[in-house]
Chain A
Amino acid sequence: MEVLNKIRLHYATKPNEEIQMAEGQRFYVRQASGIVRNISPLNAMALASGCSNLAGATAAMFIWMPYLYPGADLVWSIIIAVILSLAQGALYAIFAASMPRAGGDYIYISRTLHPALGFAGSFAFMATMVAYSGILCWLQVGLLSSAFVLLGQIFSIKPALDFGVWMMGQDGLLIMGTVMLLVAFGTVVFGIKTLRSIIMMLFAIGTVWALLTIGILGTTSLSTFQALLDKFVGTPGTYQNIIAAAKSEGFTTRPVNLYDTLGAVVLVIWGIYGYWTSSYYAGEMKELRRNAVTSILGTVVVWGIFAVLFAALLVRATGFDFLASAGYLYYSKPDLLSLSVPPTLPFLEAIMTQNVVVGLVIAVGLMAWSFIYFPSYFTPMSRVLFAWSWDRIAPAKFASISKRFASPYIAVAIIAALFEFFLIAWLYKPEFFMVNLFFTYVPLYCLIGISGLIFPYVKKQIYEKSAMKPSIAGIPVISICGAVTIITWLIIAYFIMANPAIVGEVSTFTIVMTAGVYLLAILIYYIAVYYHKSRGMDIRLIFKEVPPA
């Protein structure tokens, strides 16, 4: 710690000041380029939270969980999911601390296992993400919709309310989803500084939203919610009617049990997904990389704390039976649900909000989260296309940078176009989606788990140099986390297969299609290898080990 304090003392000086040596100093750094201070843990957490969108993730979680697993203890499901996510987060964090300029799981898998597997994993990631665009749009437009519903309600502006409701219809989702994609495209490609500054401001407000949500949920009693719900719908007894309607269709909740609680963990993991894609930046002094590890894990913990509070307070305010019944009706029998909006957390919160100022801040916060989401995904996804291009698997054009805007315009345009295509497909031709989307992730994260498991042994040279190599009973933590990650995703696979209502049926056809995605990627990789070999260049040299002379 004394050494680290001394190093921090160095970095407190201006660039052209001399480094002062204190007595007992054990480490000397000269004036050299690239010596930067580490970003603060708070900043690193902000980077991670862009992808792990708190509002977007929790929006539908609290109706999916009780609907799909009507005996789940929501709080314990979140806690278990957070613990498992900490393991995967630690795996990524230690990889990132060991190889900060590597470039994410594509490189981790390529370096540790095989480049064909690395490409297959990243191809599956990209294919699934773009195919998911419809669902992502639904979530993000939903946040915007709930903001307008809230504004319409607290200011008694019917057009705002109607606009919010319209957004969640098929045409509304298409138009608003397209608008949000264009805004994201503009932000990333044209680098519209003003827009970026606004988004940064909205991000801060989005954080305030989370705190206000706790306040709203915590100060609303069950009886108050029932009355507000009746007022919103305009029909007395709405609350009881929803529960009764579900019951009449054969849906009931059951006593809390371990199976349902574990099943609901899958949905939480889906919600927290993405926290490891933070644009973590590490300086070149290996001693100072620990901050990023704790920051990535800190993001998971903070997310988990908010999610637990949301869950506990939401159940207290609305009742588990209501959440489960509303979820069941929304997804299975929407005609019987006497609500014009999805019963997600933002909408329920909108119904509960009575204070105009608080309501306005919450509405703006929800808008903030909705507009942050797509840019947060465009950047890492465009980096994947870049990586393919640099590895000569994809055309060099994919890595083109706009001279005028200094942005990866071709890569982002491809992603935006694919997002739009799959949004339209999801809205108007849902039968188009032959692949169980979430299931496609299972092999990818098993691959990253295996990579973590064996990394200290097969890449000893890199691992031994890492500034972060914690171990427990002599076993590297990254190996333990790799094993936990594999087990986690196999459990996820089991629950996905056991409950088709989660993300669709996992039939033999689904498994074949999932395998097909990976095999297609491997085929593409070897076609690229063959093409370049015919020109005299073996691109398998990319990861060939050259021993030191």
Chain B
Amino acid sequence: MKKRKTRVFFTADIHGSELCYRKFINTPRYYECNVILLSGDLTGKAMVPILNLQNGTYEAEFLDKKHVMRSLEEVQALEGQIRSVGYYPYRTTADELRSLDKAAVEAVFRKLMIESITQWIALAERHLKDTDVKCYVMPGNDDIFEIDSTFNNSGLVVNPEGKAIPLDDTHEMISTGYTNITPWKCPRDISEEELAKKIEGMVASVGDIKNSIFNFHCPPYGTNLDTAPQLDENLRPVVKGPTIVTTSAGSTAVMDAVQKYQPLMGLHGHIHESSGFQKIGRTMCFNPGSEYTEGILRGFIIDLDEKGIKDFTRVES
């Protein structure tokens, strides 16, 4: 295959799925990309206790099934399955489990998330160390702040949050994993005004805005990239007759910025159901969607040259 100027593989929203992450760091070998980008929502949402019954057996409930394990190998195999769907396995005992209060559970979650991201960074460093691949991994609105420091010691895996980063001689990328306020009030949910201010601060440091890339986790408001089911006060999708009622969940600040500055492209995630691409003026915006629970890595391969986007395709694995 001909050597391209810059081939980007972009994905988002893997939510702790180690299987998706391992595929992500392997994409350069199969897609021949020299820039890989994992933008937002890195950490998982659930924890599965694996009880040590102290008699040589372990027990866990996973995917509605009770698992009884009689060796550490079996435990490790189940832990691998748990991690692959984005959950965190947690070895514990019945006594400890009973003693866990709300604060303790949160502390366990924090510990597991930090450990997971640390291991992921080490994995990428081992796998990509002899390549010239640029690897960017950015926390999203769902991710706690405590994981940010795990990137500090890595020379290979870069967190692009808040920075203007040159991808090549022509294209600069600015990034933020913050989003507008969601019903779940996640760690990096901020108001539209705050998000707009953040974006303006980054734009000011970009040299060539027309060839820039807006890597904003939240998609622009009112597009086919931000359509989500409307939820009632109990977080249940609203159904009216034969249709699910949908709403736009994207950001007006992002939309305003895209419309005002018209960068080359926008890379987004956040709304798993709204995969696709859409042109806003001259800006091509992408959202790969997500099927992380199935272990399917969704993304876009985008070829860039001096003139702009040469071609692109969605991919799934």
As a 0/1 sequence over residues 85 to 109 of chain B, the CB contacts with chain A under 8 angstroms (1 = contact) are 1000000000001101110011001
Known: A36-B237, A532-B311, A549-B127. A461 touches B23 (CB 8 A): no
Asked if A18 is at the interface (CB within 8 A of a chain B CB), the reply is: yes
Asked if B297 is at the interface (CB within 8 A of a chain A CB), the reply is: yes
- B316 touching A101, Cβ below 8 Å: no
- Across the interface, which residues of A come within 8 angstroms of B270, CB to CB? 33
- A549 touching B26, Cβ below 8 Å: yes
Question: A30, A203, A403: which has the most chain B beta carbons within 10 Å?
Answer: A30
Q: Which of B46, B240, B275, B313 contacts A542 (CB 8 A)?
A: B313
- A401 touching B237, Cβ below 8 Å: no
- Across the interface, which residues of A come within 8 angstroms of B15, CB to CB? 32, 34, 284
Q: How far apart are the CA atoms of A35 and B102 in the complex, in Å?
A: 18
Asked if B27 is at the interface (CB within 8 A of a chain A CB), the reply is: yes
- A467 touching B314, Cβ below 8 Å: no
As a 0/1 sequence over residues 31 to 51 of chain A, the CB contacts with chain B under 8 angstroms (1 = contact) are 111111111100110110111
As a 0/1 sequence over residues 272 to 296 of chain B, the CB contacts with chain A under 8 angstroms (1 = contact) are 1101111100000000011101111
Near A by CB (< 8 A), chain B positions 131-146 give 141-142
Asked if A391 is at the interface (CB within 8 A of a chain B CB), the reply is: yes
Question: B84, B273, B293: which has the most chain A beta carbons within 10 Å?
Answer: B293
Residue of B nearest to A542 (CB): B315
- A462 touching B273, Cβ below 8 Å: no
- B85 touching A465, Cβ below 8 Å: yes
Residue of A nearest to B233 (CB): A14
Known: A36-B236, A284-B45. A549 touches B22 (CB 8 A): yes
Known: A101-B291, A386-B276, A536-B310. A32 touches B240 (CB 8 A): no
Q: Which of A99, A279, A386, A466 contacts B244 (CB 8 A)?
A: A279
Q: How far apart are the CA atoms of A545 and B27 in the complex, in Å?
A: 10
Residue of A nearest to B20 (CB): A548
As a 0/1 sequence over residues 59 to 89 of chain B, the CB contacts with chain A under 8 angstroms (1 = contact) are 0110110000000000000000100110000
Q: How far apart are the CA atoms of A467 and B27 in the complex, in Å?
A: 27
Q: How far apart are the CA atoms of A21 and B103 in the complex, in Å?
A: 11
Number of interface residues of A (CB under 8 A): 86
Asked if A238 is at the interface (CB within 8 A of a chain B CB), the reply is: no
- B105 touching A546, Cβ below 8 Å: no
Q: Which of A21, A37, A102, A538 contacts B291 (CB 8 A)?
A: A102
- B317 touching A3, Cβ below 8 Å: no
- A546 touching B31, Cβ below 8 Å: yes
Q: How far apart are the CA atoms of A372 and B241 in the complex, in Å?
A: 10
- Across the interface, which residues of B come within 8 angstroms of A465, CB to CB? 63, 81, 84-85, 293-295
- B236 touching A99, Cβ below 8 Å: no
Residue numbers of A with Cβ under 8 A of B are: 3-4, 11-12, 14-16, 18-21, 23, 25-40, 43-44, 46-47, 49-51, 98-99, 101-102, 111, 196, 199-200, 203-204, 279, 281, 284-287, 372, 376, 379, 386, 390-392, 396, 399-401, 403, 406, 408, 461-462, 464-467, 532, 535-539, 541-549
What are 21 A-B interface contacts by the 8 Å CB criterion? A32-B15, A32-B186, A35-B235, A38-B236, A43-B237, A47-B244, A99-B296, A101-B273, A102-B291, A204-B241, A386-B224, A390-B276, A392-B314, A400-B278, A462-B296, A537-B301, A538-B1, A543-B315, A544-B30, A547-B26, A549-B25
Residue numbers of B with Cβ under 8 A of A are: 1-2, 4, 15, 19, 22-23, 25-27, 30-31, 41, 45-49, 60-61, 63-64, 81, 84-85, 97-98, 100-102, 105-106, 109, 123, 127, 141-142, 182-186, 222-224, 227, 229, 231, 233-237, 239-244, 248, 270, 272-273, 275-279, 289-291, 293-297, 301, 303, 310-317
